[in-house]
A = this chain, B = another copy of it.
Amino acid sequence: MLPVPAEFGRLRVVLVASRNPLNIGAAARAMSNFGFLNLRVVNPYEIAFREARSAVGAAALLTDAEECKSVAEAVADCGLVVGTTAGHRRELRQPLQRLEHGASLIRKQLVSGRVALLFGSERVGLSNQDLSHCHWLMRIPTRAEHGSMNLGQAVAVCLYELVCAHNSVGTAEKEVPATARDLERFTGVLLEVLRASGYIHPGTATSAEEKVRRLVRRLNLEARDAEVWLGMLRQIAWKVRAEEKKEG
């Protein structure tokens, strides 16, 4: 019925800390329905994941699912990282896209590179720590009185919209975005310099770290630029370190 475009193979559906085997299985079924076959799970509740995997009729994609220890690991090879949210939380600090628009941005990106699409746990969704790895967030337009969707249904709706967002496949030369690994490296050196120069104080380290991570993701760095920025920052870090040694 629906021919599956080759670029669907570049999407990584990432389930973070899922607790319910039925929901993991349902997410996998929706993926199979819509032709997205690459699943990664971050710290699933171990028994739930085993049960989901051994369930009768579990798609091959569940068997092939990659288990990751952290969100950073699960998104490392992806040039675009998108989180999903019910969107009723007030404290969100990332750009928020409606699903229709976000899906067409993702489709564009899939033409040239990998994209990670993150779903949080059934109970609490994605944490601020998880969200800080995302370039932007996508929300499903549920109503305010009952915003929180079932995990399997949220996956189904997002992937359906991805299938339908066909308007996007342009022919223009695409820039290659920096991978999450590059961005994390850049973030690491930046944090070191900010600590050394007193911008980040030990007391506020965690929230500052998340803030900086989000800032870096909003830069939408291209791969070739990321390398240059990293080189600059390393030189600055070296200078700061050298000075500190002299002091010590």
A contact set with B: CB distance below 8 Å: 1-4, 22, 26, 29-30, 32-35, 59, 87-88, 95-101, 139-150, 152-154, 156-157, 160-161, 163-164, 167, 170-173, 175, 190, 193-194, 196-199, 215, 218-222, 225, 228-229, 231-232, 235-236, 238-240, 243, 246-247
Contact = CB atoms under 8 A, between A and B. Distances in A.
B1 A143 contact: yes
Contact of A219 (B22, B59, B170, B219): B219
Given A194-B235, A219-B221, 11 more contacts: A1-B144, A26-B153, A34-B141, A101-B170, A140-B160, A141-B160, A152-B152, A160-B160, A236-B236, A239-B243, A243-B247
Contact of A153 (B146, B153, B163, B198): B153
A236 B35 CA distance: 48
A232 B100 contact: no
Contacts of A196: 239
A84 B235 CA distance: 35
Nearest to A33: B142
B153 A30 contact: yes
Contacts of A87: 1
Nearest to A152: B153
Contacts of A59: 146
A209 B60 CA distance: 43
Nearest to A98: B171
A182 to B, nearest CB: 15
A216 B210 CA distance: 22
A123 to B, nearest CB: 13
A153 B149 CA distance: 11
Given A215-B228, A222-B218, A150 B30 contact: yes
Given A141-B163, A153-B156, A243-B243, A173 B2 contact: no
A2 B141 contact: yes
A235 B98 contact: no
A147 B96 contact: no
24 contacts: A1-B88, A1-B143, A1-B147, A29-B153, A32-B145, A33-B143, A33-B149, A34-B142, A98-B172, A99-B164, A100-B167, A101-B172, A140-B160, A150-B156, A153-B156, A190-B232, A193-B236, A197-B239, A199-B235, A236-B236, A236-B240, A239-B240, A239-B243, A243-B247
